[in-house]
Amino acid sequence: MNAARNPIPLLLAIALVAAPAAAQSKAKSKPKAAAAAKTATPAPAKATPANATLKTVQDRRSEGHFPRCTLGIELPDIPAAEAKASRVLVMKAVDDLGTNLVREDAADARLEPTQRGAFGKPKEGPAPPTIVFAELKNPPRKATTLKEVSGEIELYIPGRDPNGEAGFPKILSMAGKPLAHAALKANGVEIAVLSEDQIAAERKKAGDAERAKAKKEGITDEETVRSMVEYAVDSFPKGGEGQIVLRVRDPKKAIQDFKMADGEGNPQFNGKSEQAGFTILEFWGDKPKPDWTMKVLMQSDTSLVRHTFAFRDIPLP
């Protein structure tokens, strides 16, 4: 059951002051107290009260497999094209019956790419505001209001950090050599685009390593060894027209995403996977063309923005 509510003014949340490290260590040493309500713990960072409006309430009180309660939160000060990823950490959610509605996996929420952020700025008209979604447990059928929903919103806005983005026009022409960019250097990131010859050499290396492993383990049957080597080689990235193979070193885990665009700046969507220690960008529609650009988006304290939020007395549909 879906319902859109009139905007509900945001009640500014008061950010809690972090306890000293010594106090935290003492708290960790104490046995965990049994509690009926399990709440999520946000990532440690400074958070300021958000200018936000509650736009929608979706409450599907179903007995089936897809029950859900979702709040749509609009952030009018942040254009949707600027927020490339977001997550909402719900710390408290309770209905008028006193039911704890914080999901068990609330603390595991990850930054997820935003749909509008992927498309960039609209060609015409003003950019719409960012909208994020808070996921709750389903309230009981007898519940009529959400007494309080509060927590933190985290937004990834690379445009706020001069080193938050590294762009590489004509990325295919850079195969066979490491990429050079001030933003990569500032974030301790190293990336190289593998050429076809380098991929072939790495595949051969993988086969040789598997053959040496078989010898060390005393495997002498030629058919068995051949099968092991073939499997190692076939499991290695093949490259080709539909893939870009990258050697990536990212000790700080700064990389948020890789974005591709054609020669006119239109987004080209790709999958990303890790194979044999390499990062693979794979395309299922158009194959990468010589005029395509690759952007590397990276996180930092400047590009990660955190806001607190709190809504109270929300009518349920």
Per run of 10 residues, the mean pLDDT along the chain (length 317 residues) is: 44 37 43 45 67 90 69 93 92 96 91 70 73 92 94 92 94 94 96 93 88 88 88 79 91 92 87 88 86 93 92 94
Determine the pLDDT at residue 220.
85
CATH number given to 162-194+239-299: 2.60.40
**Could you read off the pLDDT of 59-70 as tens digits, one per residue?**
876 665 566 799
Determine the pLDDT at residue 293.
96
For residue 246, the cross-strand partners are 193, 279
Q: Rounded CA gap, 160 and 82, in Å?
A: 9
First to last CA, the chain: 8
Q: Is 256 exposed, middle or buried (0-12, 13-18, 19+ CB in 10 A)?
A: buried
Determine the pLDDT at residue 235.
76
**Could you read off the pLDDT of 243-296 as tens digits, one per residue?**
899 999 999 999 999 999 999 988 888 888 888 889 999 887 778 999 999 999
**Residue 127 DSSP label:** P
User: SS in 3 state form for 231-258?
Assistant: HHHHHCCCCCCCEEEEEEECCCCCEEEE
Determine the pLDDT at residue 310.
96
Residue spans per domain, the chain: 2-24+33-158+303-315, 162-194+239-299, 196-238
Q: Rounded CA gap, 204 and 208, in Å?
A: 6
Determine the pLDDT at residue 101.
95
| Contacts of residue 217, Cβ cutoff 8 Å, sequence gap at least 6 | none
Ramachandran sector of residue 133 (left: φ over 0; alpha: ψ -120 to 50; beta: rest): beta
Which H or E run contains 216?
Answer: helix 196-216
**Could you read off the pLDDT of 216-239 as tens digits, one per residue?**
889 888 888 888 888 888 877 777
| Contacts of residue 20, Cβ cutoff 8 Å, sequence gap at least 6 | none
Evaluated on CA atoms 135, 314, 304, 161, the torsion sign reads positive
